[in-house]
Amino acid sequence: MKTADITKAIFSKKTQDYTFVVLFLLIFSVFIFFAINPSLKTAFSLKKEEKDLTKIDALYEQKIMNIASIQSQIEENREDIPLFNQAISEFPEVNKMVNDIKSAADKNSFVIKKANIADVNLAQNKKALEKIRMIVEGKTNFDNLMSLIQDLFLQRRLKSVSNLVINQDQDATGSGELEVILTIDGFYL
């Protein structure tokens, strides 16, 4: 082919139309890739982010409702908060627990032979309910034992009797003497 024929073929109407269509599609695909594609990605990511934020909003709403509920309970019990603090103290206060048990024992004729402090966790950890375990051995009669336990429960400091062992005192001269082993748990935060 000659140069004139090549030039004529290149600049013919049909070739110009094909060239125009190819260039248009090439430019349009570049435009789609660089302009529309990021916009679509942004739209989809914003939609996903909206769903995530809706879930987080529902979670925060629930937390706020819980806080409001706790706040209303505190408002209802505002006058009783000092009693709660006395019932479950912030620190172990072992000496106060020993004094409480001793005063109840003296009041109810419970002769303490031996007292041991078994479990006290002094490590600072989360605000969880901890306990002091005290094992008290002594002698008394059944009525005084029941009065002692009743007096322990009536004291301000929260206590529970987790174990109670009662044996008849073999050495006693009176008929109603009992050997008693009490395991008392006191609580603190």
Over residues 99-156, the pLDDT tens digits come to: 888 988 889 888 889 888 876 666 666 667 778 888 899 988 888 889 988 988 888 7
In this predicted structure, what is the pLDDT of residue 119? 65
Kind plus residue range of the DSSP H or E element containing 183: strand 178-188
Q: Where are the alpha helices (DSSP H) in 77-141?
A: 81-87, 94-107
Q: What pLDDT band is residue 45 in, cutting at 50, 70 and 90? A: very high
Domain span holding position 65? 3-73
Supply φ then ψ for residue 73, to 5 degrees. Answer: -65, -40
End-to-end Cα spacing for the chain: 101
**Do residues 105 and 67 both lie within one domain?**
no
**Do residues 120 and 141 both lie within one domain?**
yes
In this predicted structure, what is the pLDDT of residue 125? 64
Give CA 41 to chain center in angstroms.
40
Domain holding 171: CATH number? 3.30.70.60
Predicted confidence (pLDDT) at residue 188 exceeds the cutoff of 70: yes
Q: What pLDDT band is residue 176 in, cutting at 50, 70 and 90? A: confident
Domain-embedded: residue 30: yes
Among residues 163, 156, 165, the alpha carbon closest in space to that of 185 is found at 163
In this predicted structure, what is the pLDDT of residue 187? 77
Q: What is each CA distance from 137 to 10, 164, 181, in whole angstroms?
A: 115, 10, 4
In this predicted structure, what is the pLDDT of residue 120? 67
Number of domains in the chain: 2
Q: Which residues pair with 167 in a beta bridge?
A: 179
